Structures are given as structure tokens and as C-alpha cells.
A = this chain, B = another copy of it.
Amino acid sequence: MLSSPTPAKAAPHQELLYRQLAGHYGSAIEQGALPPGSRMPSVRELMLRHQVSLSTGLQALRWMEEQGQLEARPRVGYFVRQPALARLPAAREPSLEMESPTDIDASPFSGINPRISLFLEKARQADVKIDLGTAMPAPELFDAASLNRLATALLREQPNILLRGATIRGTHPEFQAAMARHALDCGVRIAPEEVMATLGNSEAVNLALAAVTQPGDIVAVESPTFFGLLQGIETQGLRTLEIPSSPHTGISLEALELAVRSQPRIKAVIVVPHLQMPTGCVMPDSHKQRLLAFCTEHDLALIEDDIYRDLVESTHPARPIKAWDTEGQVIYCASFNKTFAPGLRQGWMNAGRWHTRVQMLKYARTRNMQSWSQLLAARGVSAPSFDRRLRKLRSELRTQREASAQAIASHFPPGVHLSLPPGGLSLWLELPDGASSTLLHEQALARGIRIAPGPMFSNSGRYERFIRLSCGMPFSPAVEQAYVELGQLIRAML
């Protein structure tokens, strides 16, 4: 590390200084902070930044050139040299080694659900070529051209939109109005000023949890449920209570009632009423109303995670639980990550009777979401073309789900259980006796294929024979080949 800058005059000190300077940039190159091909600071810049003399700066650059770290391009400057080819493959070694479970230390993940975090960390460190583990629609399923036209038009119309910073007002009024109108289409009435923009759906749900609980409280969830919810609950010092849930009607009210009687610290219930993750269950309207009545009666915050609703295949829009909520008992969370522009990360929420509190929590945690992305989402969703695009997206996802199911039927061993969900991005299947999805996850990653193993969706240890497979990407020969390899791996276990 280069010591605090001091003007250098005496020759002996100067020699020391240019070596320090060279060492400083040398280790930056080692670490990759200065990648091959990047331009070194000029002598002038070195003088200014490090308060060294011209000759010191020059000596440092020349010395690094002699060491083979830099190459000089006449009248342009010094550039970081490509490392010897022999060194390149080495870079991949760690990620390959990390694929065996023993190599990852779980201790950094205490309080973030170490078990689930390890599954994620292994996938993060693997070299994934076919990702069947992320329930995200592929870019090809959207109309990039029209989205980008909308984006550039917005920049022309409001040239300062990227320059207006966070304000205590938070969410943009145009976004609020658009979301209120959008919600109305499925029977939900929300006062525009109580719409809040969030960084995706995940921030919305975590804000909801923080608003209605104290550390140590219990949150009831469907079982199985999305691993992100299990992590989010734990990171806030809360405890999860998994409630048995039917693949046809969703969370069991009888089980919930028993739990609430015995557990006074249950403060909130989180459900995904439409295309529940991972089961794909769509909750019947009658069940939604019973659940809402129950939560209102027992003063449980009902957090409705409605991220997949627009992907439900039906002749008329499915109605969120929020549509029946007259007391503000439902905290409604949604996003456009799956339906409009996954890269915008634009979510939103209405916190019902907790609005004022959640608004301040959001400000304290992350201030505002960009006005730019709010306006882009507002205009995209309000455009007449939005519904047409949704229909197209739903039908393409249907094709992909059916092709995936077909591949499972053809390439997986007999004894797989799978029911096709009425929409959405993924399939939830049960493997034959003797199969381990934990092991399958490991072995598939080693082949560049990522899946989501069943144990990620519960803390109970159940679902070891289940896996979730994403159908978000167009079904290609490469995807089919992944199914072939998965089938082989499963067979080998039986």
C-alpha cells in the first residue's frame, strides 16, 4: 500500500518512492482492478494523484514496463499487458473446486438461512450454462424494440429525469395513478397516493414484514413456499411457521386456525394466491375471502405477494385478495419483473392501514426508486398494447411449459409426479423414490445445469424428492439436452 503522499525531492527517497508507486499499481493489476488492456494513468495524473515528481512517475512507469507489466504505445501512453496465456486457465480452478459442498463455509450466512444460502452460493460459484433454476422470463419473450422506444421517448420528453434525486415524497405521482388504474382492472381500489414504488417485489415484501412485526414474531407461510420469503423472514429476526397448503386451494385455513390459537406471536400471513411458488396453485375466490375474513378477525397482517397474477391463463383477470379488503388488512405487493421489463426491477406495493409506516421505513432503508423506471413502467402498463402483449407472453410460456413437460415425460425415468399449472414460469415435480434433489442439484451444477431443489422451498426437510424447473427460456435443443442429462442423473440414483 502506498504510504500517505509526501512531496519527494532527495534522490534516495525518490528511488524508494517510484518502487512504491510501481508496487501500488502492480498489485492493482494482480487483483484485476486494472485489467489487461486498460490504460495506466499518465505521468501528469500520477504526479497529481500521488504528489510525486515527474521523474518519479516516469521511473515507475518505465520500471513496470521492464517488469513486463506494462507496454508503452508511442504518443498514447502505457497499457496493462495481457497476462501470459498459461495463466488464464488457472482463473477458473476455484469455481470448479467450489462445487463440492464441503468447500463452502456456511458461517457468513448465519441469520440468512444458511441452508438455502448454501444452495444459492453453490449456484453462484458454478459455471451455469443452462439455468432451469431461475423463474425468470427470457428477454426474447418481450418486445425490446418498443420498450426501448418508450425509454428514449421518455428521455427526450423529460431530459432531467435521470438527474432528479431522492425526495421525501418518494413515489412519482404518474406511477401512482397508473398503478391505481391497473389495480382497478382486477377489482382492486387503491388511493393513488398510497401506491409505493419499490426495488422489485422482494423489497416490497420485506418492507411489509418489517412494518407489522417485532423481532421474534412468527410469520405464517404456505408450505412449500418461495425460498426468498424464508430468507427474508429470517434476516429480519423473525420465525417462520409453515402451514400445510393444498395444490388446489392453497393454505389450509384449518391448520392456520390451529396455529393461531397456540401461537400468539403469529403477526402476519404471507400468501402467493396466484401461481403459488413453487406449486403453481391458484387460490379460489371463495378461499381468498375466507382467508381475508380470518386474518381480519384475528388482526393478522395479510401480505399478498401477487407477482405472478398477470401470468394466470383465464378468460377474465384473476382478482387479488386485496379486491375484498375493506379494512386495509392486506398489504399488496406486486412487480413488473415477470410481465413487462425484468431488467427494470420495478415493483410496487400498497400497505393498507400500514401505509404511513411503510412509507417511512422505505425512506429510511433505500430512499426512492428511480423516477425514470417508475414512469417507464407506468407508460408501458397503461399502453393499449400491454394486454395484447400479456396474452402473447402467456401463450408462449404455455408452449414452453408444455415442451418442458414433454421432455420430462420422454427423458425422465417413470414415477415422476407433475401437474401442469394454469400459467407461470415453472414446473414443480416429484421425483421417483430413491432420488435426491440435493444430490441432483450438485451433479447438475457440475455439468453447467442449474435446477432449484425441493429443500430450498421449506425449512421442514420435506420435498427432498421435489425439484422446481423453470420454463422461462424458449425451449431449444440445448434445453432439451439439459433435460436428457437430468434424466440420466436421476436414473443413476434409482
Contacts and interface: CB of A to CB of B under 8 A. Distances in A.
A147 B168 contact: no
A240 interface: no
Contacts of A446: none
Contacts of A189: 1, 24, 27-28, 31, 33
Interface stretch (A248-256, A297-305, A367-375): A367-375
A14 interface: no
Interface string A268-299: 00000000000000000110010000000000
A317 interface: yes
Contact of A166 (B34, B145, B200, B369): B200
A354 interface: yes
A450 B421 CA distance: 53
A210 interface: yes
B345 A367 contact: yes
A361 interface: yes
Given A31-B189, A177-B35, A162 B148 contact: yes
Interface in A203-249: 203, 206, 210, 215, 228, 231-232, 235, 237
A160 B139 contact: yes
B32 A342 contact: no
A55 interface: no
Contacts of A185: 41, 49
B361 A235 contact: yes
A63 interface: no
Nearest to A168: B124
Given A120-B363, A370-B373, A33 B180 contact: yes
A180 B38 CA distance: 12
Nearest to A27: B189
A54 interface: no
Interface in A137-154: 137, 139, 142, 144-145, 147-148, 151-152
Given A109-B360, A370-B373, A316 B48 contact: yes
Contact of A367 (B165, B202, B366): B202
Interface in A1-53: 1-2, 4-5, 24-25, 27-28, 31-35, 38, 41, 48-51
Contact of A343 (B41, B142, B164): B164
Contacts of A365: 202-203, 206, 232, 235
Nearest to A344: B162
Interface stretch (A81-89, A258-266, A319-327, A459-467): A319-327
B163 A342 contact: yes
A145 B120 contact: no
Contacts of A136: 165-167
Nearest to A356: B108
A232 B364 contact: yes
A486 interface: no
Contact of A360 (B49, B117, B139, B167): B117
Interface string A331-343: 0000001100111
A159 interface: yes
A228 B112 contact: no
A264 B65 CA distance: 51
A366 B203 contact: yes
B356 A343 contact: no
A341 B49 contact: no
A183 interface: yes
A1 B231 CA distance: 35
Given A342-B163, A356-B108, A202 B366 contact: yes
11 contacts: A1-B324, A4-B286, A27-B189, A120-B168, A162-B344, A163-B341, A165-B338, A166-B345, A231-B364, A344-B370, A345-B368
Given A231-B360, A232-B364, 14 more contacts: A25-B184, A32-B191, A33-B180, A113-B364, A124-B169, A134-B167, A142-B163, A147-B162, A161-B343, A164-B343, A203-B365, A228-B367, A232-B365, A344-B372
Which 4 pairs across A and B sit closest by C-beta, in order of nearness?
Answer: A165-B342, A139-B163, A231-B364, A33-B180
